[in-house]
């Protein structure tokens, strides 16, 4: 894939230097075909509210959906280091966000997802699905159990590995965030193009580990989530 330069690219359309342009991480070949070229355009004041999501009915959760270490309650645990990840979800001003849906997915111990499109050849774990959900409580707190995901080779043609990470999606009310939690001291963080784009803010994306005292859990991880920035929260109650 050559890096094409666009002819007569219509930058003359009044773009301002302080508008944000999304970047392509270095060597991120998957992104360089689709990250927009132009800066994100400002939303006029009169249209702002319309970019905050509608309030929707959130799903009722089944028991055990926040325990990814098992396929279902009472079934055997998957292989690997058992993690208990917990924290709070707040807005930028520290107000807890109650009843928001946290959706979680991660690869298994060997770095493979159960997703049909994952080309990895690593083994599947019959006791690990890798997808779960939890709602925050009245104090905006959540917790879920999972297996520490393995690193995986995401682009074999350029030998690019992803650091261990847990995918997280937060939604409910007007909160909206798609993010990933990473692990401390992972040498692959230094060469992950997406992580490097965070710069100093990458430190916020790393969970804090400690030895767990919870039965059936090896490691506790604290990961607080703050909804802000591009994720409009200004219309919460």
Partner 1 sequence: METENYTCEDTVGPYYAPAFLDDDRQNLTNFYDYLVRPKGDVIIVQGAILDRDGNPVKPVLVEAWQADANGRRRTSATLEDADLDPWFDGYSRHYCDDGTFELTTIMPGAVPPCRESPSARAPYITLNLYMDGTERLATQIFFEGRPENESDPLLLSLPEPLRPRLLARRMPDNSDGVPVYRIDLKLRCADETPFFEDRFG
Q: Which sequence positions are flagged as catalytic?
A: 113, 152, 162, 165, 167
What is the total count of residues that contact partner 1 (CB under 8 A)?
Answer: 81
Asked whether position 46 contacts partner 1 by CB under 8 A, the answer is: yes
Separation of alpha carbons 28 and 36, rounded Å: 14
* 36 binds partner 1 per the rule CB under 8 A: yes
Smallest gap, in angstroms, from Cβ of residue 127 to partner 1? 17
Side-chain-side CA neighbours of 170 within 13 Å: the count stands at 29
Angle at 125 between CA 212 and CA 61, to 5 degrees: 65
Q: Mask of contacts with partner 1, 169-208, x by CB under 8 A?
A: x---xx-xxxxx-------------x---x--xx-xx---
Q: Output the six-digit token pair for 207.
A: 């969970």
C-alpha 127/C-alpha 130 separation (Å) is: 9
**Residue 172 and residue 89: Cα distance in Å, rounded?**
11
Residue range at the interface with partner 1 (CB under 8 A); choices 18-26, 76-84, 135-143, 210-218: 18-26
Asked whether position 10 contacts partner 1 by CB under 8 A, the answer is yes
Q: Residue 158, interface with partner 1 (CB under 8 A)?
A: no
Q: With contacts defined by CB under 8 A, name the span among 51-59, 74-82, 137-145, 208-216 that binds partner 1.
A: 51-59
Residue 126 tokens read as 């019959």
DSSP string, 116-156: TT----SPP-TT---EEEEE--TTSEEEEEEEPPPPEEEEG
Task: Tell me the window of 68-76, 129-137, 138-146, 208-216 that interacts with partner 1 (CB under 8 A).
Answer: 129-137
Q: If binding is defined by CB under 8 A, does position 22 make contact with partner 1?
A: yes
Which position among 5, 17, 33, 213 is part of the footprint of partner 1 (CB under 8 A)? Answer: 33
């Amino acid at each position: 894939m050559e890096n094409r330069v666009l002819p007569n690219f219509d930058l003359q359309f009044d773009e301002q230097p302080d508008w944000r342009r999304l970047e392509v991480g270095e060597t991120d070949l998957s992104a360089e075909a689709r990250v927009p070229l132009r800066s994100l355009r400002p939303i006029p004041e009169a249209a702002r509210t319309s970019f905050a999501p509608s309030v929707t009915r959130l799903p009722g959760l089944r028991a055990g959906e926040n325990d990814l270490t098992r396929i279902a309650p009472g079934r055997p645990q998957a292989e690997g280091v058992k993690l208990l990840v917990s924290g709070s979800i707040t807005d930028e001003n520290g107000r807890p966000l109650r009843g928001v849906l946290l959706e979680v997915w991660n690869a298994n111990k060997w770095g493979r997802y159960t997703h049909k499109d994952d080309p990895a050849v690593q083994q599947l774990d019959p006791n690990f699905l890798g997808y779960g959900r939890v709602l925050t409580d009245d104090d905006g707190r959540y917790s879920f159990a999972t297996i520490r995901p393995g690193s995986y080779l995401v682009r074999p043609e350029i030998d690019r590995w992803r650091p261990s990470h847990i995918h997280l999606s937060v939604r409910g009310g007007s909160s909206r965030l798609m993010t990933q939690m990473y692990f401390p001291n992972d040498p692959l963080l230094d060469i992950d193009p997406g992580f490097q784009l965070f710069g100093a803010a990458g430190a916020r994306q790393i969970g804090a580990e400690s030895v767990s005292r919870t039965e059936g859990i090896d490691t506790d991880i604290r990961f607080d989530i703050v909804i802000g920035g591009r994720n409009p929260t200004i219309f919460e109650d």
